[in-house]
Amino acid sequence: MSQSQFVSKCTVDALQTAARTLLEGNLVAFPTETVYGLGADALNKQAVARIYEVKGRPADHPLIVHIHSMQVMGQWVDDVPEYAIALARDFWPGPMTLIFKRSSLAQDFITGSQDTVGVRVPNHVVALALLEAFHNLGGRGVAAPSANRFGHVSPTTAIAVSDELSDFLKPEDQVMDGGPSAVGVESTIIDCTGELPRILRPGAITEEMIKESTGLKELAPSSQFESTPRVSGSLEKHYAPAAKVLLDQTPVAGQGFIAPSRRVTPTGVTRLAAPKNSNEFARDLYAALRKADELGLNEVVIEQPQGDGIEIAIRDRLMRASKGR
């Protein structure tokens, strides 16, 4: 099926149609500020099962519930600590997912049979308009992982979604085109089930930002415990293109190269991205990895950005990408 049969420009009519499409049990891929998500009605078990089917995603991997406002968070979660309220006030809408003990509304098919659930209010005009339209029709939340095949590079444009998933979608499904994602790496996931917040997946909301928001001097250590909830993007191998990802090497002819703009491209090397700063690096990274595959490159050399902000999230994604699919 051709891309154009799925991809919709985000008119008011298209958003209303997309909200009804979700309520009818179909899938809608939509833009967020981080990456594009593949959404289904979070209360519809059959619709959610199709997300797993389309992505080829293991059934025990939980999904994030996207809501239009922190005011409805209480429908999905129990036991919200004070620090989590501070985080939601400061960073929602935004690139942050909070993990809580689930309410009875959050079923096993959303949570991967865990007793926790992740919720987020995305900061994208199209995502928020879609979620609000869905809410106004009686919807409670939209479950949405990234709109790509499991373990592959997350999509940051509607065309990337369509290229990857159109063979798996039905005519009733929809892809909303809201332009390129502004952040480019997935949301920070914060475990809010303990006395202190714990970062389970780094993103644009950093440890320093969390401390400043909550007034806490320390966070719980990020190391994976047995008791830590399973979350998206925590597998050792993830976010990987078909090309082999090599980190912090000197590229040679025939390889692709992603590095800060100050780095010169050696002869015979294909420059895939030359970001001027770390925010640009995050925004351009996934599109550059997809470009490597489009060009048929076998290997991509990436010079990792250094720093303690969004650079931590970039290095996390690159470490997983370098392990292959």
Query: Per-domain residue ranges for the chain?
Result: 3-214, 244-321
pLDDT for position 222:
79
Tokens (6 digits) for 84? 């989590």
- Tell me what the mean pLDDT of segment 227-232 comes to: 71
pLDDT at 1 over 60: no
Report field, pTM of the whole predicted structure over 0.85 = yes
- Tell me what the mean pLDDT of segment 108-119 comes to: 95
Taking only Cα atoms into account, the Rg of the chain, rounded to an integer number of angstroms, comes to 19
Q: Give the confidence band of 314 by pLDDT, cuts at 50, 70, 90.
A: very high
Task: Write out pLDDT tens, residues 180-192.
Answer: 999 999 999 999 9
Q: Give the confidence band of 145 by pLDDT, cuts at 50, 70, 90.
A: very high
Strand partners for 244? 299
pLDDT at 3 over 50: no
pLDDT for position 4:
47
Instruction: Tell me which CATH homologous superfamily contains domain 3-214.
Output: DHBP synthase (3.90.870.10)
pLDDT at 234 over 70: no
- Tell me what the mean pLDDT of segment 30-57 comes to: 97
Mean pLDDT, the chain, as a whole number? 93
**CATH topology for the 244-321 domain:** Rossmann fold (3.40.50)
pLDDT for position 230:
76
pLDDT at 219 over 90: yes
Report the 10 Å Cβ neighbour count for 108: 14
Task: Please answer whether residues 216 and 83 qualify as being in contact, where contact means their C-beta atoms are separated by less than 8 angstroms.
Answer: yes
Q: Give the confidence band of 227 by pLDDT, cuts at 50, 70, 90.
A: low
d(CA 39, CA 7): 14
pLDDT for position 60:
87
pLDDT for position 233:
61
Greater confidence, 232 or 41?
Answer: 41
Which residues, in sequence order, are CB contacts of 2 under 8 Å at separation 6+?
166
3-state secondary structure of 263: coil
- Tell me what the mean pLDDT of segment 31-42 comes to: 97
Task: Write out pLDDT tens, residues 287-302.
Answer: 999 999 999 999 999 9
Percent of the chain with pLDDT over 90: 86
Element (H, E) at 246: strand 244-247
pLDDT for position 235:
61
- The CA-CA-CA angle for residues 35, 272, 261, to 5°, reads 100
C-alpha distances in Å from residue 222, one per residue of 100, 194, 198, 217: 16, 12, 6, 15
- Tell me what the mean pLDDT of segment 38-61 comes to: 95
pLDDT for position 231:
75
